[in-house]
Amino acid sequence: MGYKLKTDDPDLAQGLRRVAAEQLDGALDALEGRGDPDVHEAVHDARKRCKKLRGLIRLYRGAFPGYKPENKALRDAARHLSDLRDKTAMIETYDRIMERYGDTLNRSAFAPLRAGFTRDRTAAGEGGDLADRRAAMAEALRAVRGRVDLWELDEAGFDAIREGIFASYARARDAMAPAEESRDPERLHEWRKRVKYHWYHMRLLSEAKSETVKTREASTDELSDILGDHHDLVEFAARLDGAALGDRPARVMRGLVREETARLEEEAFTLGRALFARKPKKVAKDLRKAVTTSYAAA
């Protein structure tokens, strides 16, 4: 049914349990080999679902007594396989750079870099403990799945998500200024995380009959992608030290990374200034109207 609260859910509490169950079942299918047979895609799918689950419960954090322990359980579960996804991201980042700049380069000079990233990912995918780590993640998620049907909220209607909506926007807005001023990778990564939670919340509310929600969903999706690519570039740059490249190709690649990083930053802040121009209370007021006019018992 997709990652969204349905307007015909009996209430927002039942929507919470339904979406959580769907995401957990999908993650378990991936980890236990009932989905994509490619191990890297299966791991990626399971980890994405964990992030979406954390976004879901964060929306309800003000009314969900189980928020903190369940958030920790999901975060810890995903850590079992975080390194495998990181290795895939390095290959994808290399490919994006080549797609953008490859026509002006001697690609063969850079091929050893991609080959090294590919060997790293293959070795991780064939690691002797991978099956154990997948099983450990699955076990942790099954424990969460066993509690979902018992989840209850302290508030009903819009009040169940009021704090989550307000906080996700306000924190993303607040994180932008220090990131823009400093251009520090850690602050940009923190901004990215806050933007992604706001995007998740707009996705969850995407059935609302509201141009505000639709516009914010599209814009936060785009911004989240830009900041995700930026984060991958930062990690990519760190792995160039000691890479199997000659001095000149290494210098050229570092220059391309700096150019691409600066380009993505400009795109991100241009979009972010428009997306987070309004004060949190005004955005929350618009979202309250969208939810209460679209969702049952809200």
The pLDDT of residue 33 is 84
Domain layout of the chain by residue ranges: 12-294
Number of other residues whose CB lies within 10 A of the CB of residue 237: 17
pTM higher than 0.95: no
Reported confidence tier of residue 1, pLDDT bands at 50, 70, 90:
low
Residue 38 has φ and ψ, to the nearest 5°, of -70, 120
The pLDDT of residue 237 is 92
The pLDDT of residue 248 is 87
Using the predicted structure, report yes or no on whether residue 243 has a pLDDT greater than 80: no
Of the candidates 293, 239, 230, 235, the residue with the CA atom closest to the CA atom of residue 260: 230
Inter-helix orientation angle 39-59/67-79, to 10°: 170
Helix (H, G, I), strand (E, B) or coil at 4: coil
Residue with tokens 């979902």: 148
Q: Dihedral of the CA atoms 263, 278, 194, 50 (nearest 10)? A: -110
pLDDT digits (tens, 9 = 90+) for 80-115: 888 777 888 999 999 999 999 988 888 888 988 899
Of the candidates 266, 229, 240, the residue with the CA atom closest to the CA atom of residue 97: 229
> Which homologous superfamily does the CATH classification assign to the domain defined by 12-294?
CHAD domain (1.40.20.10)
pLDDT digits (tens, 9 = 90+) for 116-133: 888 888 887 776 688 888
Cα separation, 30 vs 54, in Å, equals 18
Q: What is the mean pLDDT of residues 135-151?
A: 97
The pLDDT of residue 266 is 98
The pLDDT of residue 13 is 95
Burial, 288: exposed, middle or buried (Cβ in 10 Å; 0-12, 13-18, 19+)?
middle
The least confident of 72-86, 142-156, 211-225 is 72-86
Using the predicted structure, report yes or no on whether residue 40 has a pLDDT greater than 90: no
Give the percent of the chain with pLDDT over 70. 98
Burial, 126: exposed, middle or buried (Cβ in 10 Å; 0-12, 13-18, 19+)?
exposed
